[in-house]
Amino acid sequence: MQRKLTPPGYRPRQRGETDGKTVVESFAHALAGVVHAFRTQRHMRAHLIIIGMVMLAALFLRIPAWETVALFVSIALVLLTELFNTALEMAVDLVTQRYHPWARIIKDVAAGAVLVASANAILVGLVVFLRPHRWSERVAELLQHAPRRSPMETMLITALGVALLAVIVVALKARGRAGTFLAGGAVSGHSALAFFLAASILFLTASLEACLLALGLALLISQSRVQAEIHTTREAVLGALVGAGTAALTFLLTHFL
């Protein structure tokens, strides 16, 4: 006989009894479901990181309203399908703890919905962010009003940015209490430096082609750290975000000085 699983504190509803929840309580329960999905599902956390990067890129490029709406709709579809996928998997596991071909099909179909939504989001992102000359024109617009600097001043600003990056990476590694500056730890220093240089090339040259080449090299460096099992994928992604963010902060601040 199969054992019935019930969550802690569960009490069957009596006949004629309503749930008695207010709108605020219903909202709180819904929010708790979203938080639970982010806490327990690795893919949801990965989506959160990607969403943050997309929003920063949209703000930087000043994406038009209709393209921003397309991004929001695509993001919402991915999150909704992930939430439904999580709910269906938990419901199937609640009904049966044994292998069943129908249970596998249900989970595969739910995962397929996530795949379709993710593919759609990727296509929308490519159309929005990889339009010809969008990045180079935006960077050129920023640099057009920037004060002219000598090569020595540019090197000094870049060196200061690298120093700031080193401080941030050391602080994050110290907070994680693992690894050294050159190996291991809560954030990949190699990934941070590689993406700092890639972003710096974009700000200094306003060339999308040069930036894409530098970005490809930065991705290879990050992948090598993961493949060598020195860092996890999460640590490499965090390093990339720290490096690119530090470069943006450095050059955007000095733009006004």
Which tokens is 140 given? 């050129």
Residue numbers annotated as active site:
82
Cα Rg of the chain, angstroms: 23
CB-count burial class (<10 Å; 0-12, 13-18, 19+) for 221 = buried
For residues 219 and 191, is the Cβ–Cβ distance under 8 A?
no
Helix (H) or strand (E) holding 68, with range, is helix 65-95
Q: How far apart are CA 28 and CA 23, in angstroms?
A: 9
Give the separation between CA 162 and CA 209, rounded to whole angstroms: 23
DSSP, res 100 = -
